[in-house]
């Protein structure tokens, strides 16, 4: 590849890859939300989530490789790198939840699990919308604020879930299992807030 071609801004390819990454994360979150509500589809959905996690890894690697190969990028290189890593952290958490669910074989549904995953799903849907708006330079600060507000809501639900769990769950082993599932789900919600913070910085810098 010539130096001239390397210097050309590959705007479309970067945006397409970021959108693909966000959409696959949202797809995985939908699968997670469904399996937390219905244990009958646990193994099937967990398998699909793991495949999506591998897909996301490949997309993330493609983005990083393009950053190393391209002199001029549509957004600041560090911003693209941080956004890619922040998104990748979200899918890692989602895959971790699904794998834990398969290993732990909980006797019943996790307390407030579907409610927390519902918050997570609302966040990832907003993330997809914001990422799709990056190329157009649209101001989506209201959606970013919404993601952060959902994180605050997630903190509240997580605390309520722990309180109820310690009150109602008498089986210590099951308590430990459920607590860890809740903690990882809450971490995924926090990681979505991190994505929102990175996107906010990008919008401010390029607004």
Do 25 and 56 contact (CB within 8 A), yes or no? yes
Average pLDDT, the chain: 90
- 3-class SS letters over 49-99: HHHHHHHHHHHHHHHHHHHHHCCCCCCCHHHHHHHHHHHHHHHHHHHHHHH
User: What confidence tens digit (pLDDT) does each residue in 22-61 have?
Assistant: 999 999 999 999 998 888 898 999 999 999 999 999 999 9
Q: Is the pLDDT of residue 204 over 90?
A: no
User: Domains, the chain, ranges and CATH?
Assistant: 3-206 (1.20.58.220)
Q: Is the pLDDT of residue 85 over 50?
A: yes
Per-residue pLDDT, 111: 79
Q: Is the pLDDT of residue 5 over 80?
A: no
User: What confidence tens digit (pLDDT) does each residue in 125-173 have?
Assistant: 999 999 999 888 777 889 999 999 999 999 999 999 999 999 988 999 9
Q: Is the pLDDT of residue 175 over 80?
A: yes
- Average pLDDT of the residues in 91-105: 95
Per-residue pLDDT, 4: 33
Per-residue pLDDT, 12: 65
pTM: 0.91
């Amino acid at each position: 590849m010539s130096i001239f071609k390397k210097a050309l801004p590959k705007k479309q390819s970067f945006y397409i890859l970021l959108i693909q990454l966000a959409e696959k994360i949202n797809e995985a979150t939908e699968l997670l939300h469904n399996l937390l509500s219905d244990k009958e589809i646990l193994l099937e959905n967990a398998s699909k989530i793991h495949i999506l996690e591998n897909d996301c890894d490949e997309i993330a690697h493609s983005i990083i490789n393009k950053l190393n190969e391209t002199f001029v990028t549509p957004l600041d290189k560090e911003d693209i790198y941080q956004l890619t890593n922040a998104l990748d952290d979200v899918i890692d958490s989602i895959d971790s939840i699904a794998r834990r669910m398969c290993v732990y074989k909980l006797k019943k549904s996790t307390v407030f699990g579907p409610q927390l995953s519902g918050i997570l799903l609302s966040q990832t849907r907003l993330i997809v919308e914001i990422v799709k708006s990056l190329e157009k330079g649209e101001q989506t600060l209201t959606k970013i604020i919404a993601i952060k507000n959902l994180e605050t809501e997630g903190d509240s639900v997580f605390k309520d879930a722990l309180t109820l769990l310690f009150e109602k769950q008498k089986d210590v082993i099951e308590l430990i299992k459920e607590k860890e599932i809740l903690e990882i789900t809450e971490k995924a919600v926090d990681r979505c807030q991190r994505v929102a913070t990175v996107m906010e910085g990008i919008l401010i810098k390029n607004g």
